[in-house]
C-alpha cells in the first residue's frame, strides 16, 4: 500500500472542520436510557448510539511517516474542538474519508478552557515556585477560572435567593451557569428543569 500525500491528508482533514456529526464510541460515558455506553459494551449488549453534533475549530496536519514494511502511515495532528468531541472518533472519520481503517495511537490534551499544558506545573515545580516566592504567578482567581461558562450578573433580589441556596429561573440554554454579584463569582448553578437552575458549587465568600 502506498502512503497518502500530505496534500490528500490535509484536504480530507478540512472536510472535518466546522459543525459535524459524530456517533460516540461504545466505550464512552455517554448515557442511553440511563445507562452508560461502556456498561452496555462490557455486557456484550448492542444499543443504538445517539448522533451528536460537535464543532471542530481547526484540524491541523503536523507531519506523517510511512512504514513500508507493514504498510502503516502515522499522522501527527493538532485539533481544537468543542466539548463533547471524541478525538478517536474524529480519527476514525478521517480514515473513512481516506478509505482505510484508522485508530488513535496516542493523545495529549494541550488545553482545556483557559488552562494550557505549557502553563502547568509538576509537584517539583510547585515546590520550587513556593521557595522562590513566584507561585502566585501561576494561581488563578475564581473570577479567572470560570470565564468559559455563560455568566449572569445577579440583581440584589436574585443575590438574596442565591445566598440561601435558592433555585433561580433563568432564560438560558446552557446546562451550567456562572453567577456573579458585584462582578465577583458567587456560585455555579446547573439546570434543573423547566428553566430552573439549582446550586452546584457556592463561593459566597469570594469578595
State residue 63's pLDDT score: 96
| 17, pLDDT greater than 70 | yes
Mean pLDDT in the chain? 92
Predicted pLDDT at 114: 79
The pLDDT of residue 144 is 84
- pLDDT tens, 141-193? 888 888 888 999 999 999 999 999 999 999 888 889 999 999 899 999 999 88
Span 87-100, mean pLDDT? 96
Predicted confidence band of residue 96 (pLDDT cuts 50, 70, 90): very high
Nearest to 186 by CA among 115, 173, 158: 158
What is the pLDDT, as a whole number, of residue 1?
66
> 205 Cβ partners below 8 Å, 6+ apart?
none
How far, in Å, CA of 158 to CA of 56, rounded?
A: 36
Query: Does 6-107 carry CATH code 3.30.2350.10?
Result: yes
**pLDDT higher for 181 or 2?**
181
Local confidence band at 22 (pLDDT 50, 70, 90 cut-offs): very high
Measured CA to CA in angstroms, residue 48 lies from 32, 40, 82 at distances of 8, 11, 23
The secondary structure of the chain as a DSSP string is -PPPPHHHHHHHHHTTSEEEEE---SSS--EETTEEHHHHHHTT---PPPPEEEEEEEEEEEEEEEETTTTEEEEEEEEEE-TT--HHHHHHHHHHHHTS----------EETTEEGGG---HHHHHHHHHTT-GGGG---HHHHTTTS-EEEPPHHHHHHHHTT--EE-----SEEEEEETTEEEEEEEEEETTEEEEEEE-TT--
Residue spans per domain, the chain = 6-107, 143-202
**Section 23-39 average pLDDT:** 91
* CATH-assigned architecture of domain 143-202: Roll (2.30)
* 32-61 pLDDT tens trace: 998 999 999 999 998 999 999 999 999 999
Amino acid at each position: 500500500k502506498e502512503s497518502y500525500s500530505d496534500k490528500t491528508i490535509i484536504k480530507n482533514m478540512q472536510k472535518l472542520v466546522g459543525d459535524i456529526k459524530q456517533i460516540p464510541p461504545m466505550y464512552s460515558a455517554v448515557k442511553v436510557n440511563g445507562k452508560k455506553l461502556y456498561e452496555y459494551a462490557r455486557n456484550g449488549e448492542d444499543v443504538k448510539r445517539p448522533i451528536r453534533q460537535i464543532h471542530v475549530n481547526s484540524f491541523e496536519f503536523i507531519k506523517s511517516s510511512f512504514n513500508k514494511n507493514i504498510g502503516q502511515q502515522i499522522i501527527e495532528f493538532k485539533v481544537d474542538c468543542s466539548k463533547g468531541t471524541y478525538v478517536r472518533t474524529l480519527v476514525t472519520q478521517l480514515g473513512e474519508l481516506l478509505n482505510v481503517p484508522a485508530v488513535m495511537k496516542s493523545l495529549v490534551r494541550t488545553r482545556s478552557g483557559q488552562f494550557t499544558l505549557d502553563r502547568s506545573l509538576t509537584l517539583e515545580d510547585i515546590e520550587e515556585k513556593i521557595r522562590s516566592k513566584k507561585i502566585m504567578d501561576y494561581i488563578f482567581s475564581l473570577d479567572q477560572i470560570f470565564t468559559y461558562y455563560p455568566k449572569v450578573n445577579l440583581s440584589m433580589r436574585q443575590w438574596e435567593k442565591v445566598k440561601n441556596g435558592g433555585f433561580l429561573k433563568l432564560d438560558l440554554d446552557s446546562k451550567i451557569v456562572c453567577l456573579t454579584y458585584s462582578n465577583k463569582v458567587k456560585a455555579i448553578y446547573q439546570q434543573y428543569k423547566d428553566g430552573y437552575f439549582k446550586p452546584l458549587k457556592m463561593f459566597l465568600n469570594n469578595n
